Amino acid sequence: MRELSSEDSRKYPERLVSRLVAQLRHQVLWDSLLCISPPLLVLIYIAGYLYHGAWVGPLTASLVTLVAVGLGILAVTLHYRPLVPSVAKASRLVDTCTGAKDRFLTLATIDPMRAPAGLIARLRTETAGFLDRIELRRDFSYQVKNSFYASSIVSVLALLLFHLLLPAVHSTSTSLLAHQRLRELAEKMAERPRLLEIARSLQSLAAKLEDPKVAREEKQALIEETQKKVVEQQKKEEQKDDRDLLGQAASTLKNLQQQSGAGQDQQENQEKGGGGVQSSLPQEGQGEGKPSPGGGGEQKGEMSAQLSKDMQQGKTAQGDPKELSGEKNSQKQGDGKSNQPNPNRPDPNKPGMEKGKDSAGKTQGGGDDKGGRGKASEEIPHGAPPADRLHQAGEQGREGVKGARYVTVQLPEEVAAETKGEKGGNKDAKGSRVGSKVPVSNVPLPAHVPDAPTETQQMPLEYRGIIH
Amino acid sequence: MEPENFQELFHRLESAVSKVIVGHDGVIRKVLIAFFAGGHVLLEGVPGLGKTLLVKSLSRVLGMSFKRIQFTPDLMPSDIVGTQVLAESDGRREFQFKKGPIFAHVVLADEINRATPKTQSAVLEAMEEKQVTVFGESYVLESPFMVLATQNPIELEGTYPLPEAQLDRFFFKLLVAPPSPAELKEILQRTTGAESADVSRVLSDDGAELIGGMKQLLRQVLIAPPIEDYVVRLVHATQPSSNNGNPTASPVKQYLRFGSSPRGAQSVILGAKGNALAEGRVHVSYEDVEKVLYPALRHRIILNFQAEAENVNADQILAGLVKQVARS
């Protein structure tokens, strides 16, 4: 068969040009795909990232992905078509490669019916003599073009830029959202006579916060004052709807407090302890212990552990403080063996021990020493309902959980074992997120949600890696 | 006629002429190409470079009839094409047509720019139509027919530059350059010694038939459509009015008054075919085109005053075009 094809080539050497055109066409297609793929993949990644971070809805993400794919196909087509070599160009390539002085060009482009047969036959014979000088695979082998490298570099830079700019954009939007959220909550509360006073306070707070003339200290004081009012009212309220509203207001105020620097002391503590969760988790009954030297880090670890234990037990992380407390106590009894404090555990007061603290928190769970929990209980407003911990879509909680309102997390056994093994290590883990090891949810289901224990929600992207 | 025969005969003719003409290999080859393409050649060079000798030698090796016309200001058209004379035969007197020197296979129009335009135009019909008309009667010229005109680029006083229409009828315009020192030495050795080289006839008596076959073969040479397109683009690019929006064509706009006529493209294609056959190929390559582009177009593009003032010649313009116009 190969001989036949070789004989065929010698008889009609111009067919070599057709083969080369096909080969070059494939190469050009690859070039186009390689050139367009990196930006396309980055675009799809960004759409996916925004979707999983609840920045955009599934429809928008799908549309963006579809548009990106469509644009990619269009770009490949537009890039590919002008680069497809013509027969004349391919012939010239062969002529240059073999030194055939345009013999291939003449044979490949001339109409044999309109040319003297004798001369055509003679030209074919002459041209066949040049076939030995060329081998398509050798002489026209595929090489990745510089355009691919350039495209890849630009795409990676764009991706990095995206990840760098996203937090800045997010903080700006969150700040704006907080004011807006206060007003919305105030409007809702105004419909309920018992919350009318709180609604007015929130309205006036929102107005003062937007007023640039009001001093920062005054704003902070107002926030704290309003927050106290909300918390007090929250304690008094028995109706779940009102409690939820108040909880949301408390959460928003907490955010504002942190943003405006009102929670400076807390931030200092967090900095010492690695930025623990400044959550408004309803932690009633959890904070009776002595203050933990772990500070914020302990607190963070504590909450991670709390969820972990719940998950290990197949429970939903819920927001009822009493239930949580009870669960934690039971965990303390049941799982306490495996969560005993590690004697080798590094001093949590030392800077740079945050990850260790996190690990400790994760592994010690709810049954760990009282210290961490006690610290957390100092920072978390007592009596804050579960709704305090809810974030709006697009908001990013301090644990990096975005837009997750109800999260059911099941932590695999392996991860628990792994976290045990990591206990006490990782000195340089300051600032590392607890979520990278143990999924931490700041959105436990409120106790009053009837199907809370059975409800399952999508796991945030950053925790998916640990689910097996 | 087989291509091998053409090449072999062509080389024999070249060698034969080269025996008496030192150097000028390119000129000899192009004159032969023009001959087999059925064109006429204008040779330009200062006196004493062997232009006349070249033409004489060519006619001799071809075995064709040869006539020389020395163009002077008082030369009349009838001196070229011939005239009616009163002749007596069998006791009767009648007008008979007496053929002029144009009736030959190879005609040397020496210093053609010295004759008046009226006389020059007499050659026009002969060159294009290969016939002459005297007193309303047409006379067909012998075939093959070729006019080799020479002109002197200096001594312009008392000369009549050839009109563009007449220039366009020349297939090639060849520039005869002065010999190099080595060539000059060779010339001296050949011409000042006791022995002198003589030109021998290459073609036999049936030469006309052979030449006809060669001419036919030349026109059958294969040319790829992309190469034809290349010639078209080159010739079209000489038009100052159509530079295809390419800013690099500005020298054409700047220095040219008129571009080449379609005859220029014909000359390029036929010349390239002749060059390909002379090199033993049956197809035209881009190189063939570029080799004959200058002699085929240099007299067909008309320079403007600015070009003359800035001493820009046609070859420079054409070289720019070759660089500018891409091969397809």
Identify which of B3, B226, B281 has the shortest CB distance to residue A105: B226
The dihedral through the CA atoms of A16, A22, A28, A34 has a sign that is: negative
Q: Is B319 on the interface with A (CB under 8 A)?
A: no
- Close Cβ partners of B300 (under 8 Å, ≥ 6 residues apart): B167, B168, B238, B259, B260, B261, B263, B264
Give the Cα separation of B244 and A71 in Å (integer). Answer: 33
What contacts B208, CB < 8 A, 6 or more positions away?
B64, B105, B143, B144
Kindly list the averaged pLDDT for each block of 10 residues, start to end, along chain A of length 468.
Answer: 60 88 91 91 89 80 90 89 88 90 92 89 91 86 89 94 84 67 81 82 81 78 84 78 79 72 45 39 38 39 40 40 40 40 42 40 39 40 45 50 48 50 45 43 50 49 55
Q: Best interface-test mutation with A: which of B6, B217, B222, B328 has the largest number of A CBs within 10 A? A: B222
Helix, strand or coil for residue B41? Answer: strand
Q: Do A101 and B285 touch (CB under 8 A)?
A: yes
CA–CA separation, B97 vs B107, rounded Å? Answer: 19
Partner residue opposite A101 with nearest CB, options B221, B223, B287: B287
Nearest CA distance, B223 vs chain A (angstrom): 6
Non-local CB neighbours of A51 within 8 Å, separated by 6+ positions: A57, A58, A60, A61
Provide the pLDDT for residue B143: 85
Chain A neighbours among B 281-310 (CB < 8 Å)?
Answer: 281-287
Q: Which residues of A touch B269 (CB under 8 A)?
A: none
- Distances in Å between the Cα of B227 and the Cα atoms of A99, B38, B172, B232, B283 are 17, 22, 20, 9, 10
Q: Give the distance from CA B253 to its chain's centroid.
A: 27
State the ipTM, two decimals: 0.85
C-alpha–C-alpha distance, residues B85 and B67, integer Å: 21
Residues 114-143 of A with CB under 8 A from B: 115-116, 119-120, 122-123, 126
Structurally, at CATH architecture level, domain B221-324 sits in Orthogonal Bundle (1.10)
pLDDT digits (tens, 9 = 90+) for B182-213: 888 888 888 887 777 777 888 877 778 888 89
For chains A and B, what is the number of CB pairs under 8 angstroms? Answer: 49
Give residue A9's pLDDT.
Answer: 72
Chain A residues in contact with B225 by the CB 8 A cut-off are 109-110
What is the C-alpha to C-alpha distance for residues A141 and A181, in angstroms, rounded to an integer? Answer: 62
> Which one has a higher pLDDT value, A453 or B94?
B94
Half-sphere exposure of B24 (CA within 13 A, CB side): 28
Q: Are strands B41-44 and B146-151 parallel, antiparallel or unpaired?
A: parallel
Pick from B225, B227, B283: CB nearest A123: B283
User: What average pLDDT does this structure show over B26-35?
Assistant: 93
CATH number for the segment(s) B3-73+101-193+204-212 = 3.40.50.300
The whole-angstrom separation of Cα B191 and Cα B199 is: 14
User: Residue A239 is which amino acid?
Assistant: Q
Nearest-Cα residue of chain B relative to residue A86 = B328
Minimal CA separation from B177 to chain A, in Å: 29
Q: Which of B221, B281, B328 is the closest to A101 by Cβ?
A: B281
Chain B interface mutation, best of A14, A95, A106, A123, highest count of B Cβ atoms under 10 Å? A106
Helices (H), A191-283: 196-210, 216-236, 240-260, 264-273
Closest CA to A434 of A376, A386, A347: A376
Tell me if B282 and A122 make a contact (CB, 8 A cut-off).
yes
Task: Take residue A463 and report the two structure tokens written for it.
Answer: 């925790």
Tokens at B219, concatenated: 């026109």
Cα of A87 to nearest chain B Cα, Å:
10
Give pLDDT, residue A104: 93
The answer to whether A109 faces chain B, any CB pair under 8 Å, is yes
Tokens linked to A164: 């760098």
Bigger pLDDT: A350 vs B305: B305
Are A329 and A365 in contact by the 8 Å Cβ rule? The answer is no
Could you give the CA distance from residue B271 to residue B39 in angstroms, rounded to a whole number? 9
Question: Closest partner residue to A110 among B224, B327, B328, by Cβ?
Answer: B224
**What local confidence, expressed as pLDDT, does residue A368 receive?**
40
Separation between Cα atoms, residue B216 and residue B36, nearest integer Å? 9
Q: Are A467 and A416 in contact (CB under 8 A)?
A: no
pTM of the model: 0.62
Q: List CB contacts (< 8 A) between B287 and chain A.
A: 101
Smallest CA–CA distance, residue B38 to chain A, in Å, is 21
Q: Which residue of B has its CA nearest to A112?
A: B222
Q: Whole-angstrom Cα distance, residue A436 to residue A394? A: 20
Alpha-carbon distance B51 to nearest alpha carbon in chain A (angstroms): 33
Residue of B nearest to A90 (CA): B328
B209-232, pLDDT tens digit by residue?
888 899 999 999 999 999 999 999
Smallest CA–CA distance, residue B55 to chain A, in Å, is 32
- Cβ(A362)–Cβ(A304) under 8 Å? yes
Could you tell me the end-to-end alpha-carbon distance of chain B, in angstroms, rounded to an integer?
32
In this structure, are residues B275 and B291 in contact, taking their beta carbons and an 8 Å threshold? Answer: yes
Report the gap between the CA of B124 and the closest CA in chain A (Å): 34
Flag whether pLDDT at B138 surpasses 60: yes
| pLDDT at residue A100, as a whole number | 87
pLDDT for B152 beyond 90 = no
Which tokens is A420 given? 């045990």
Q: Which of residues 110-139 of B touch A (CB under 8 A)?
A: none
Per the DSSP assignment, residues forming a β-bridge with B67 are B107
Q: How far is CA B216 from CA A174, B30, B104, in A?
A: 88, 18, 21
Distance CA B164, CA B121 (A): 11
| Burial of A468 per CB tally in 10 Å (0-12, 13-18, 19+) | exposed
Mean pLDDT rounded to a whole number for chain B: 88
A109 contacts B224? CB cut-off 8 A = yes
- Chain A closest-CA separation from residue B317 CA (Å): 26
Q: Which amino acid is at A324?
A: L
Angstrom distance (rounded) from CA A389 to CA A397 = 8
CB A441 within 8 A of CB A401: yes
Mind telling me how many Å the CA of B58 is from chain A's nearest CA? 29
Cα angle value A363/A364/A369 (rounded, 5°): 160
Q: What percent of chain B has pLDDT over 70?
A: 97
Does A350 contact chain B (CB < 8 Å)? no
CB-CB neighbors (< 8 A) of A90 in chain B: none
* Domain edges within chain A: 2-144, 169-262, 277-468
Residues A230, A247 contacting (CB under 8 angstroms):
no
Cβ atoms of B151 and B174 within 8 Å: the answer is no
Contact B283 A106 (CB under 8 A): yes
For residues B101-115, average pLDDT: 91
Average pLDDT value for residue range B59-82: 90
Mutation target among B223, B269, B283, B328 for the A interface, most CBs of A within 10 A: B283
The set of residues, in sequence order, having a beta carbon less than 8 Å from that of B169 and lying 6+ positions away, is: B40, B124, B127, B128, B263
Cβ–Cβ below 8 Å for B222 and A110: yes
The CA distance from A85 to the nearest CA of chain B, in Å, is: 11
How far is residue B145 from each of residues B66, B106, B263, B278, measured CA to CA in Å?
10, 6, 18, 20
pLDDT at B299: 94
**B112 CB neighbour count, 10 Å cutoff:** 27
What residue ranges do the domains of chain B occupy? Answer: 3-73+101-193+204-212, 221-324
